[in-house]
Amino acid sequence: MLHTFTTPTGPVVLREARREDVGQVVALLADDQLGRTREDTSDLTPYLAAFDAIEADPAHALYVLEDEAGTVVGTAQFSVLPGLSHRGASRAQLEAVRIAAGRRGGGLGSQFIAWTLAEARRRGCGSVQLTSNAQRTQAHRFYERLGFTASHVGMKLAL
Amino acid sequence: MLHTFTTPTGPVVLREARREDVGQVVALLADDQLGRTREDTSDLTPYLAAFDAIEADPAHALYVLEDEAGTVVGTAQFSVLPGLSHRGASRAQLEAVRIAAGRRGGGLGSQFIAWTLAEARRRGCGSVQLTSNAQRTQAHRFYERLGFTASHVGMKLAL
């Protein structure tokens, strides 16, 4: 257990994901306007392989938020990346940040992201970065309120 | 030596950077509208530490392009990142891509990025991603010609 957040509907615990959480994490990723077309919850095999790769490398962490009933209500992947630019400063990168639809608006996401910023600082990173689909305009405002700047264009190419 | 590219001004070799290349790589990063305000070429210590971190982890590679005179005329960092989303597909991420000012416009950058796409495919990645400062409009067109889509907003927060 890494932290406990207070929310209007009760405490939520932050911890690193375990292998048995993967099904719930994938369900969160799939319950989304963009995710529902690209995830496949019927076969967890590729997701478990990705989980194993994340767990094997201390540069990466998969976090889950768990409510009192043991339900996963949020997730994010946190990675520390080395790099030469910006005077050799490491960067923290967030990927696949999700809060369950029914748990939004109560401050849980803000507290969670604020915690990741503190964690990035603790791990000696000079910055935190993420990309957000251009369609997710609410998410952009959310991150801007937390201090992020939409300074970059995020470019993707599917192979 | 990973590949040799043909350019109007002679062959350019692609290889992984060595520790003694770091000074030239940092000079390339600093010779840039944005880089000149944020890099410090007078002390390589933090850059060498970052180089060591990249070299120690097989998930990361720092590439250099070297001309016949032994001058570094291009660089990019290539990283393979695990992740659960998109059915557990790994992503390749490019950071700090630079071609020396005097070597642009001859197809070197296009050939280099095309090579990284093939390398990402070879390493089993489902996609390639990068962020580019919103001010770098020429770079956006360059990547779009290579097949990238500016589908995301890149958000950054300095710690």
The answer as to whether A151 is a domain residue is no
Interchain pair A50, B154: CB under 8 A: no
Q: Is the pLDDT of residue A36 over 90?
A: no
CA distance A106 to chain B (A): 23
Contacts of B154 in chain A (CB under 8 A): 129-131, 150-154
Tell me what the mean pLDDT of segment B33-54 comes to: 91
pLDDT score recorded for residue B67: 97
pLDDT score recorded for residue B125: 98
CA distance B141 to chain A (A): 11
Q: CA-CA distance, B104 to B50, in Å (whole number)?
A: 27
Residue of chain A whose alpha carbon sits nearest to that of B128: A157
Return the CATH number at A72. Answer: 3.40.630.30
pLDDT score recorded for residue B80: 98
Contact A88, B47 (CB under 8 A): yes
Nearest to B42 by CA among A87, A84, A82, A127: A87
pLDDT score recorded for residue A34: 77
Beta-ladder partners of B26: none
Predicted TM-score (pTM) of the model is 0.95
Q: What percent of chain A has pLDDT over 70?
A: 100
The answer as to whether A156 is a domain residue is no
Tell me whether strands A149-158 and B149-158 are parallel, antiparallel or unpaired.
antiparallel
The answer as to whether A137 is a domain residue is yes
Interchain pair A159, B126: CB under 8 A: yes
Segments forming the whole domain that contains residue A47: 3-145
Domain count across chain B = 1
- What does the pLDDT look like over B99-149, one tens digit per residue? 999 999 999 999 999 999 999 999 999 999 999 999 999 999 999 999 999
- Give CA separation, B148 vs A159, B99, B125, B155, in Å: 10, 18, 15, 18
Interchain pair A38, B87: CB under 8 A: yes
Contact B96, B62 (CB under 8 A): no
Contact B45, B19 (CB under 8 A): no
Interchain pair B155, A140: CB under 8 A: yes
Produce one character per residue of B121-140: b if its CB has 16 or more CB atoms within 10 Å, e if not: eeeebbbbbbbbbeebeebb
Instruction: Report how many Cβ contacts below 8 Å link chain A to chain B.
Output: 219
Interchain pair B50, A88: CB under 8 A: yes
The answer as to whether A152 is a domain residue is no
The mean pLDDT of chain A is 96
The answer as to whether B78 is a domain residue is yes
- Give CA separation, A69 vs A13, A39, A41, A65, A148, in Å: 11, 25, 22, 11, 32
The answer as to whether B158 is a domain residue is no
- What does the pLDDT look like over B64-104, one tens digit per residue? 999 999 999 999 999 999 999 999 999 999 999 999 999 99
Tell me what the mean pLDDT of segment A111-139 comes to: 97
Model ipTM?
A: 0.94
The answer as to whether A159 is a domain residue is no
The answer as to whether A23 is a domain residue is yes
